[in-house]
Amino acid sequence: MVALAVSLNLRTYLRLQATSTSKVCINLPNINTFLSWDVTELKQLLPDSGAELGNVNELDAELVRRLRDLVGVSNGTLDTRSMAILAFLYIYLSVFAGSGELPSLTVSVWSELPTGAGLGSSAAYSVCLAAALLSASGTIPSLLSDQESTARWGEVEMELINRWAFQGEKIIHGNPSGVDNAVGTWGGILRYHSGKITPLIRVPMLRILLTNTKVPRSTKVLVAGVKDKMNKFPSIINPVLESVNAVSCTCEQTLSEMTNDTPTPEHYNILEELIDINQHHLNVMGVGHPALDTLCRVTLARGLHSKLTGAGGGGCGITLLRPETECSVVQNTIQDLRDCGYDCWETSIGAEGVQQHSPLAVKKEALEVLARY
């Protein structure tokens, strides 16, 4: 089945500072986590030969076990804080192991993405870690010149960033698809089919409202529920899945037309119909939620079309905004959704992926947050 994954224009920022403290520090203000370790303590976790580490294709199970002991978590622990720490330490040790020296540094990460909402915040975090630590180790070049405020790496470097970010995702989620870290790396819109991820070459930027219903959900439970329905009612659910596939393919074709030509009202009409159809399909599959139904009803009252995003079962939804949608409609819709107890932002999809920034290119509010730590 074809699926389309799109990047959100809500950024995750990382600042890496070399220090002379003989300590490695991680600051994660979003989850109120501020920790440090002595470099000598971390060196003891490395195997006698650093060559045994640095395999970007599979996790080193022994290093993961040692890190779990260091952090003090059991195999069953899945809390955000512990997983974030493990991912950082694993990538840090693996990337620098081959050099024979572990550098003293402070890493601060702050994100506009809410955590635990099914929006790929852990993947954005892993992508930032991979890009920063690979750059700091000299594995990939530091690109910025005095005349540039932002820069992006080439295809080879981006692929390496993506593969290391995937290792971080495996530590955090166990068996991820690789889609979220790929979107975080390349940005834009990706096509996922039969395990193969293909970036769409040119994509339009689309305005959306992003709404967090704040209803907690479990991806594992939701996936199990869909599989159960498939087993019980294969003659019903399989055609639904085929239709979902057709929705994705039609959406891909429409987005391609919008990129090659000037987007027309008809393009937006098609996207709105596809959004409505897809949302109904997802409800049939059992991944909807009354809070998401409320989102769709509230936005439709303003002439806007919405669907769930991520695993469903609560979590978040997106609402498409046309270019001609009036500011008053947008603001009134945001207020309606906040009155329901939801969080809501206006943003866009199809944004660029990982970049290297000069301080002047980073949003002022991001710098203000990071400057505190």
289 and 169 inside one domain:
no
Same domain, 109 and 253: no
State the pLDDT at residue 206.
Answer: 94
Domain shared by 62 and 78, yes or no? yes
What residues form DSSP beta bridges with 302?
none
Task: List, in order, residues 6 or more apart from 354 with CB less than 8 Å away.
Answer: 127, 128, 131, 152, 153, 158, 161, 184, 185, 187
- Asked whether 272 and 307 are in contact (CB, 8 A), the reply is no
Confidence of residue 51 (pLDDT cuts 50, 70, 90): very low
Identify the pLDDT of residue 372. 47
Instruction: Please report which confidence band the pLDDT of residue 113 belongs to, taking 50, 70 and 90 as the band edges.
Output: confident
Name 15's bridge partners: 108
Q: Within 10 Å of residue 48's Cβ, how many Cβ atoms? A: 6
CATH number reported for the structural domain that contains residue 145 in this entry: 3.30.230.10
- The band of 178, judged by pLDDT with boundaries at 50, 70 and 90, is very high
Same domain, 282 and 255: yes
Q: Are residues 175 and 257 in the same domain?
A: no
363 pLDDT above the threshold of 50: yes
Cβ pair 127, 86 in contact under 8 A: no
pLDDT at 368: 54
What kind and span of H or E run contains 207?
strand 206-212
> Cβ contacts of residue 160 below 8 Å, gap of 6+?
56, 130, 134, 139, 140
Of 204, 180, 191, residue with least CA distance to 271: 204
User: Residue 282: which domain range?
Assistant: 204-349
180 is catalytic: yes
pLDDT band for position 75 (cuts 50, 70, 90): low
Q: Reply yes or no on whether the pLDDT at 1 is more than 90.
A: no
Reply yes or no on whether the pLDDT at 49 is more than 60.
no
Going by pLDDT thresholds of 50, 70 and 90, the confidence category of residue 366 is low
Candidate list 122, 126, 135, 306, residue with the active-site label = 122
What is the pLDDT at residue 173? Answer: 87
How far is CA 88 from each of CA 119, 186, 235, 325, rounded to the nearest angstrom?
A: 20, 21, 45, 42
Return the pLDDT at 264: 93
Average pLDDT over residues 45-52: 64
pLDDT over 70 percentage in the chain: 92
pLDDT score, position 360: 63
CB 62 within 8 A of CB 90: no
Cα–Cα separations (whole angstroms), residue 50 to 22, 170, 327, 357? 19, 22, 57, 31
Contact 323, 258 (CB under 8 A): no
Q: Within this chain, do residues 284 and 341 fall inside the same structural domain, yes or no? A: yes
187 and 216 housed in the same domain:
no
Catalytic choice (60, 94, 180, 306)? 180
Answer whether 0.95 is exceeded by the pTM.
no
Q: Give Cα 307 distance to the centre of its chain.
A: 18
Is 197 within 8 Å of 182 (Cβ atoms)? yes
**271 and 336, same domain (yes or no):** yes
Residue by residue, DSSP assigns 340-367 as: TT-EEEEEEES-B---EE-GGGS-HHHH
Which of 110, 122, 37 is closest to 79 using CA atoms?
122
- β pairing state of 150-151 and 33-38: unpaired
Is residue 293 located within the same domain as residue 368? no
Cβ–Cβ < 8 Å for 209, 321: yes
The model's pLDDT over 187-207, given as tens digits with 9 standing for 90+, comes to 999 999 988 998 887 778 899
Same structural domain for residues 176 and 250?
Answer: no
Question: What is the Cα–Cα distance from 141 to 232, expressed in whole angstroms?
Answer: 53
pLDDT digits (tens, 9 = 90+) for 212-226: 999 987 777 888 899
d(CA 157, CA 131): 9
Provide, rounded to the nearest whole percent, the portion of the chain with pLDDT above 90. Answer: 69
**pLDDT at 302 exceeding the cut of 70:** yes
Count the domains in the chain. 2
Q: Which has the closest alpha carbon to 137: 111, 107, 176?
A: 107
Token look-up 């068996």 returns 175
Place of tokens 């600042």: 15
| Average pLDDT value for residue range 304-318 | 92
**C-alpha distance from residue 240 to each of 228, 271, 279, 290, 329 (Å):** 14, 19, 12, 21, 33
CATH number at residue 307: 3.30.70.890
Answer yes or no: is pLDDT of 50 > 50. no
Tell the burial category of 346 from Cβ atoms under 10 Å away from its Cβ (0-12, 13-18, 19+). Answer: middle
Give the chain's largest Cα–Cα span: 65
Cα–Cα distance, 42 to 318 (Å, whole number): 43
Residues 327 and 222 in one domain: yes
- Count how many residues are written for the chain: 373
Whether residues 266 and 159 share a domain: the answer is no
Per-residue pLDDT at 340: 97
